[in-house]
Structure 1
Amino acid sequence: MARSDLEVGADPWADAKALVDGDDNFLNIGYEAVDRHVAQGRGQDLALRWLGKDGSRRDLTYEEMAALSARFANVLRAHELTPGDSLFALTGRVPELYAAAIGTLKAGLVFTPLFSAFGPEPIQTRMEIGSANVLLTTAQLYKRKVAAWRDQVPSLKLVLILGDEAPEGCVALGPALKAAAPTFEIARTKPEDPALIHFTSGTTGKPKGAVHVHGAVVYHAFSGRRALGLEPGRIYWCTADPGWVTGTSYGIIAPLVNRVTMIVDEAEFELDRWYETVQREKVEVWYSAPTAIRMMMRAGAEAARPYDFSSLTFLASVGEPLNPEAVTWSEKVFGQPFHDNWWQTETGGIMIANQPGMQVKPGSMGKPLPGIRAGIVEHHGAGLKELPAGKIGELAIRPGWPSMMRAYLHEQARYDKCFVDGWYLSGDLAMRDADGYFWFVGRADDLIKSSGHLIGPFEVESALIEHEAVAEAGVIGIPDDTAGEVVKAYVTLNPGFAPSDDLERDIRGHARKTLGPAVAPREIVFRNTLPKTRSGKIMRRLLKARELGLPEGDISTLESDET
């Protein structure tokens, strides 16, 4: 049975498992997220409050979510889908998506979310790699992005369309849900049975499909409590889209397992709408991304002044490292800092975090969660050597946590390369300080080597956005005959500032004063926008590829681009 508090002892996963009801014979994410609470008499607790683009609202209790997800599972069963089959979801943030995710898992199928902003090619590629059997989408998205190539994915058996009508060859979900029973016998899945596939872009080649299992729910529950403070009854808003891993792990599973009330906003970022939502819904825990936080900063503290943020008890950030300036700014504006944390699609859950109650060091990703053994390593002969505090190396994690990916689909060799000498290698460079805090330096392939100096782009970007004119920055290294590489920066400007030679010199002067001439950018280029993924990460490798005329690799997750 779930306990209201978590005590971490010698075996942290044994204690973490106390947050769920499952065991080695039966563990199902869908049951743990919804039906368990109903069975414990908490079915009337509010699970989800949906805010429509048009101002409409819809509330779903845990009992209603259990019934709606059961209806969805019965729809799958009626079409002869069986445990192990694969469902892909391509839709915006609507209540049916959340119920479908839970219903898919309850039926024993594997759930894969897709960005609704994807173009036809990345959708087809992922569905081919994942041998998709079912697609859940809208009529508009189907006609624009799927219909032309549907027959080229022979594994696809069923297309479910949100609403009461569907194009030819598809099934309208609305009538199907109404006809389905509101109860369902949940599939007897085990901890190692596949549950989720999340695709992550590679620098070259096709995207990778990271496979996660039902046992990951143990870590979703645990990390939701420890890293985000998700206690039963809390009002929680994760702004991430379920099309990427945060929006599923911490936008669906972790909050529901911990019996919080989730706020789901159908609309995209709009400053006043976000501030009004926090105030009106009395949001207590707010999990967002550095891109959104920097947009708030860009609007200024004055824009936040009319709103009441007193309900907030914890703010967290994920997606890419959070610049120190953003941490101190949020403390002034919201009364507390955003707490950065670090994890990856492959880890399935938060590994390192500025946890509730911890002292925040602005710019640091925090400390490993209990049970997580993190280290800074470098290659040494055929193995790895762990580095002492203060040294930069690759961030690595000892395998064995419950949400660790179990495979890359159809790419065993690629998966095996992630594990060396008893460590999972993240590909991120970092440093651990004397107090045990970890500091992000950059992706291993982003590191800039200039005149014997190893320069992490994040350090330079953080210094640049301290300048009053700079909203965002992306930093790369470009070849130089003398220094090996020199630093080049791309920046976007805050309102009220226009590109000019004088401003470029002033920003470079600020960087030289802050960082020193060896680390500061030699050149600054102004851009209206920077290329980013939908999850908000600035694509430095794309900036470098375009600068040097190199292959761009997989850009299917690109959301915005430089102009």
Structure 2
Amino acid sequence: MAEVIHEKGCSAAPHNLTDYDTARRQFSWPIARGWLAGLPGGRGLNIAHEAVDRHAAGTPDAVALRCRGRDDRTTLISYGQLRTATNRFANVLRQLGVGRTDRVFSLLGRVPELYIVAMGTLKNTSVFAPLFAAFGPEPIRERLRLGDARVLVTTPELYRRKVAALRAELPHLEHVLLVGGEAVPGTIDMASALMSVGEQFVIPPTDPELMALVHFTSGTTGMPKGAVHVHEAVVAHYATAKLALDLHPSDVYWCTADPGWVTGMSYGVIAPLTHGVTTIVDEGEFDPRRWYQILQDERVTVWYTAPTALRMLMRHGAELASRYDLSALRYVASVGEPLNPEVVVRAQQVFGLPVHDNWWQTETGAIMISNFAAMDIRPGSMGRPLPGVEAALLRRGGDGRAAVVDDRVQVITEADTVGEIALRPGWPSLFRAYLHDERRYAKAFADGWYLSGDLARRDADGYYWFVGRADDVIKSAGHLIGPFEVESVLMEHPAVAEAGVIGKPDPVVGEVVKAFVSLRPGYNPSEQLRTELIALGRRRLGAVAPKELAFDQHLPHTRSGKVMRRLLKARELGMPEGDLSTVEGPG
């Protein structure tokens, strides 16, 4: 789409980034580090201090969180109250003997307790790892196991349905704290625990390189990857929210991402709190009228959401939006999957504002490429690299990934050529490891570049345009779904001999999960069996289960025996099958 949406400069406050080229020349990460306070007495850098305590010291009565329950009741939490609550949780952890770098997991929705647990954990210099509450038991078990979970905070219902039966398989999981109900045997009531400890807590010295966060992301050929981030990541959280989301201290901010995913933590929890803004927290699920009501009633000024949600809102048209007063809204941004050009244009018509798409990954920890507030938008483009971020496109090999020859890569210099997005390490939120997988981590780098696995082209003006993933990870409604996990669950059924899973394009959620299964001898395809397998997926995997399932006794394989998902997808979509040299031959 050739259309360009021009910045009108109508924001009530001056943009934080007013000239892109000047900002790139003048920016450095040491300068950004100076935007933060650091622990008193030069004792290091701690995310929770930057997000909570430094604001509580200066503006304790400022509202940090406006939390809306499913019943629309609103709870206000000030920065001073958040400091007290997070101090108490840090003291609970100490009382339990949980200390430095011990892993504390949450299995919670968008509720105030999640913020308390996250910041209290970081104060204690323990490691926080959020989980998506809609996961089924199997993804939860695997992540708790991989992450060496010592503490889990969840609700009585989620514990009963998804965790209780797993305890015997998780010897490292010593403590389970329950939120919003009475404790059951083997658990601790969090409210009682908080009231049993003091409200004073001094954050210990914190090395900026100390492990702080673990975010899980799925791969195509193995189990989930636990990406490790350190306390220094907060420098990037703050700087990118300032430059890419244009946050000002006076803003009312709403990030709709679930805190179980990296966007919900980096930009739903950490970044807005570091800026001292008021953050909207909505426990409810997506509903067009509810969302418009929140934008109106809370006077949201900056809104960070997903393309799936925008597409669904656009399906309801301008008439529904016109019933609500959205005049407070000054900035809209989007992330999680490619944003269709037509959605950008339509949103401009509906909101009177453009949508600023951006790109980043779990591994990068923060926004890397973005459309900026003071920059013209080219609908369909994910923008230009952040100040302080060196991005490039690398020439690809036969497998679609960047070609690495004798440990060297080739940077593409010409415009409009597809290559793998690569980033030069040096920004603070770059992941430091994959838990228990040094080999996998090493493979993410080559010749001084981080290899993203995503493909893009760059136009003559430096705008990047997303093309697709070089691997098979499925992006559905902003969630990253690893085919291997879905296949593994389906193969637990006695009828299934083998499974292959792909993402099938969907106009609303980006992709839906479709499974292809071959059956064992003695079993025949039937609607009853199809329903049974889909139900198994929903029971075990929750929101990431397959939506469609087909029977196929001739799944394509590589010569090494791997199901060729690429070929399954090409055949499903009627696309060219590409190189078939590695396909298993007859006999």
Q: Which residue of 2 aligns with 1:28?
A: 46
Q: Measured at CA, do residues 489 and 64 of structure 1 come closer, stay the same or move farther in structure 2, by a change above 3 Å?
A: closer
CA distance in 2, matches of 1:402, 1:536: 32
Q: Which residue of 1 aligns with 2:28?
A: 12
Q: Which residue of 2 aligns with 1:427?
A: 453
SS in 2 for 1:292: helix
SS in 2 for 1:402: coil
Contact 2:153 2:177 in 1 (8 A): yes
With normalisation by structure 1, the TM-score equals 0.79
Q: Are positions 1:259 and 2:284 aligned together?
A: no
SS in 2 for 1:359: coil
SS in 1 for 2:34: helix
In structure 2, stretches of 5+ residues that fail to align are 1-14, 18-22, 396-402, 476-502, 510-536, 566-587
Q: Which residue of 1 aligns with 2:386?
A: 369
CA distance in 1, matches of 2:554, 2:346: 33
Contact 1:92 1:116 in 2 (8 A): yes
Alignment of 1:135-174 (within 5 A): 135-174=152-191
Q: Which residue of 2 aligns with 1:417?
A: 443
Q: Are positions 1:181 and 2:198 aligned together?
A: yes
Q: Measured at CA, do residues 31 and 552 of structure 1 come closer, stay the same or move farther in structure 2, by a change above 3 Å?
A: farther
Residue 204 of structure 1: how far off its partner (Å) = 2.0
Q: Which residue of 1 aligns with 2:233?
A: 216
SS in 2 for 1:113: strand
In structure 1, stretches of 5+ residues that fail to align are 448-456, 459-487, 495-530, 555-563
Residue 540 of structure 1: how far off its partner (Å) = 12
Q: Measured at CA, do residues 547 and 211 of structure 1 come closer, stay the same or move farther in structure 2, by a change above 3 Å?
A: farther
Q: Measured at CA, do residues 490 and 390 of structure 1 come closer, stay the same or move farther in structure 2, by a change above 3 Å?
A: closer
Residue identity matched to 2:416: G
Contact 1:290 1:536 in 2 (8 A): no
Residue identity matched to 1:29: I
Residue identity matched to 1:32: E
Q: Which residue of 2 aligns with 1:279?
A: 296
Residue 191 of structure 1: how far off its partner (Å) = 0.6
- 300, 322, 333: which one pairs with 2:350? 333
- 136, 150, 156: which one pairs with 1:119? 136
Residue 151 of structure 1: how far off its partner (Å) = 2.3
Q: Which residue of 2 aligns with 1:248?
A: 265
CA distance in 2, matches of 1:493, 1:202: 23
SS in 1 for 2:105: strand
Residue 324 of structure 1: how far off its partner (Å) = 0.1
Residue 8 of structure 1: how far off its partner (Å) = 6.4
Q: Which residue of 1 aligns with 2:216?
A: 199
Q: Measured at CA, do residues 9 and 31 of structure 1 come closer, stay the same or move farther in structure 2, by a change above 3 Å?
A: farther
Residue 400 of structure 1: how far off its partner (Å) = 1.1
Q: Measured at CA, do residues 435 and 73 of structure 1 come closer, stay the same or move farther in structure 2, by a change above 3 Å?
A: same
Residue 18 of structure 1: how far off its partner (Å) = 1.7
Q: Are positions 1:402 and 2:428 aligned together?
A: yes
Q: Measured at CA, do residues 47 and 490 of structure 1 come closer, stay the same or move farther in structure 2, by a change above 3 Å?
A: closer
CA distance in 1, matches of 2:247, 2:360: 18
CA distance in 1, matches of 2:552, 2:269: 35
Task: After superposing the two structures, state which structure 1 stretch, 432-441 or 378-387, moved more.
Answer: 378-387
Residue 233 of structure 1: how far off its partner (Å) = 2.0
Contact 1:291 1:536 in 2 (8 A): no
SS in 1 for 2:410: strand
Residue 261 of structure 1: how far off its partner (Å) = 0.5
Q: Which residue of 2 aligns with 1:381?
A: 405
Residue identity matched to 1:437: Y
Contact 2:356 2:377 in 1 (8 A): yes
SS in 2 for 1:253: helix
Q: Which residue of 2 aligns with 1:350?
A: 367
SS in 2 for 1:187: coil
* CA offsets 1:364-404 (integer angstroms, 9 cap, x no match): 00000001000011226321111122211111000111000
SS in 2 for 1:436: coil
Contact 1:84 1:194 in 2 (8 A): yes
CA distance in 1, matches of 2:466, 2:324: 33
Q: Are positions 1:130 and 2:156 aligned together?
A: no
Residue identity matched to 1:377: L
CA distance in 1, matches of 2:359, 2:548: 20
Contact 1:237 1:285 in 2 (8 A): yes
Share of identical aligned residues, percent? 52
CA distance in 1, matches of 2:44, 2:112: 27
Residue 79 of structure 1: how far off its partner (Å) = 0.8
* CA offsets 1:294-323 (integer angstroms, 9 cap, x no match): 101111222212111111111000000100
Residue 286 of structure 1: how far off its partner (Å) = 0.4
Residue identity matched to 1:28: N
Residue 60 of structure 1: how far off its partner (Å) = 0.5
SS in 1 for 2:332: strand
* CA offsets 1:246-280 (integer angstroms, 9 cap, x no match): 00000000000011100010001000000011011
- 90, 98, 104: which one pairs with 2:107? 90
Q: Measured at CA, do residues 208 and 545 of structure 1 come closer, stay the same or move farther in structure 2, by a change above 3 Å?
A: farther
CA distance in 1, matches of 2:16, 2:455: 34
Q: Which residue of 1 aligns with 2:124?
A: 107
CA distance in 2, matches of 1:164, 1:365: 44
Contact 2:255 2:303 in 1 (8 A): yes
Q: Measured at CA, do residues 98 and 201 of structure 1 come closer, stay the same or move farther in structure 2, by a change above 3 Å?
A: same
Residue identity matched to 1:419: F
CA distance in 2, matches of 1:172, 1:109: 20
* CA offsets 1:418-462 (integer angstroms, 9 cap, x no match): 100111010011011111100101111369xxxxxxxxx99xxxx
Contact 2:360 2:367 in 1 (8 A): yes
Aligned-residue RMSD, C-alpha: 3.1
Alignment of 1:456-471 (within 5 A): none
Alignment of 1:32-47 (within 5 A): 32-39=50-57, 41-47=58-64
CA distance in 2, matches of 1:537, 1:376: 31
Q: Measured at CA, do residues 28 and 376 of structure 1 come closer, stay the same or move farther in structure 2, by a change above 3 Å?
A: same
Q: Which residue of 2 aligns with 1:48?
A: 65
Tell which has more relative contact order, 1 or 2 (C-alpha 8 A, sep 6+): 2
- 72, 78, 86: which one pairs with 2:95? 78
CA distance in 1, matches of 2:336, 2:554: 24
* CA offsets 1:321-376 (integer angstroms, 9 cap, x no match): 10000000000000011110000000000000001111000000000000100001
CA distance in 1, matches of 2:472, 2:551: 9
Residue 187 of structure 1: how far off its partner (Å) = 2.5
Contact 1:49 1:59 in 2 (8 A): yes
SS in 1 for 2:149: coil
Residue 406 of structure 1: how far off its partner (Å) = 0.1
Residue identity matched to 1:441: V
CA distance in 2, matches of 1:553, 1:149: 33
Q: Measured at CA, do residues 493 and 13 of structure 1 come closer, stay the same or move farther in structure 2, by a change above 3 Å?
A: closer
With normalisation by structure 2, the TM-score equals 0.76
